[in-house]
Amino acid sequence: MTTRRNFNAFAAVASIAILGVGKVLAAADHLVRTDAEWRKLLTPAQYKVLRQAGTEVPFASPLLNEHRDGVFGCAGCELPLFSSKTKFDSGTGWPSFWAPLDDAVQTATDNSLGIERTAVSCLRCDGHLGHVFDDGPKPTGLRYCMNGVAMKFTAAAA
């Protein structure tokens, strides 16, 4: 006999199974390219930042002054990364955001300058985007300080 309790238990198990499959499918969407393919696809400046964890010159990116509604996506794979609604002027010279979109970025410890920082990269292609710091505005208190050359902007439909 099917009871509400049995049905709810079945629904919970089914949801877990579906979510598990979703995670496997998301992993299958991971983008892998050879170094030669990346060099063909990206400009030299994009390659230096996205594939070699470089940093662009501050105040050089046109995206710093991009204030239209839209989405900032990865220049390497076009995965949407940040909504313009979370962008703010940090005064640092790099486009800054207080939160990424869901399932967009990953972080890792970066000790390359002899100090511990948190590097941010694209979840799909592992392209280096910048760093995240804990000196941002509310509601998160975070500052995702991104290299503009590592992103492309897509304006919202009018």
Average pLDDT estimate for 61-88: 97
Quote the domain boundaries for residue 12.
1-30
Judgement on whether residues 19 and 50 belong to the same structural domain of the protein: no
Nearest-angstrom CA–CA distance, 16 and 13: 5
Residue 15 has pLDDT above 90, yes or no: no
Q: Which of 24-28, 138-142, 148-152 has the lowest mean pLDDT?
A: 24-28
Judgement on whether residues 78 and 43 belong to the same structural domain of the protein: yes
**Total number of domains in the chain:** 2
Q: Which residue has the higher pLDDT, 78 or 28?
A: 78
Judgement on whether residues 54 and 4 belong to the same structural domain of the protein: no
What is the pTM assigned to this prediction?
0.81
Judgement on whether residues 73 and 4 belong to the same structural domain of the protein: no
Residue 30 has pLDDT above 60, yes or no: yes
Domain at 81, CATH number? 2.170.150.20
Judgement on whether residues 44 and 19 belong to the same structural domain of the protein: no
User: How sure is the predictor about 26, in pLDDT bands with cuts at 50, 70 and 90?
Assistant: low
Average pLDDT estimate for 117-146: 97
Judgement on whether residues 12 and 59 belong to the same structural domain of the protein: no
Nearest-angstrom CA–CA distance, 24 and 42: 28
Judgement on whether residues 22 and 78 belong to the same structural domain of the protein: no
Judgement on whether residues 26 and 75 belong to the same structural domain of the protein: no
C-beta separation of 75 from 127 below 8 A: yes
**Using the 8-state DSSP alphabet, how is residue 58 labeled?**
T
Kindly list the catalytic residues.
145
Strands (E), the chain: 70-74, 80-83, 87-88, 96-97, 105-110, 117-122, 128-133, 143-146, 151-155
Q: Which residue has the higher pLDDT, 125 or 28?
A: 125
Judgement on whether residues 68 and 16 belong to the same structural domain of the protein: no
User: How sure is the predictor about 84, in pLDDT bands with cuts at 50, 70 and 90?
Assistant: very high
Judgement on whether residues 18 and 61 belong to the same structural domain of the protein: no
Judgement on whether residues 88 and 116 belong to the same structural domain of the protein: yes
Distance of CA 149 to the CA centre of its chain: 13
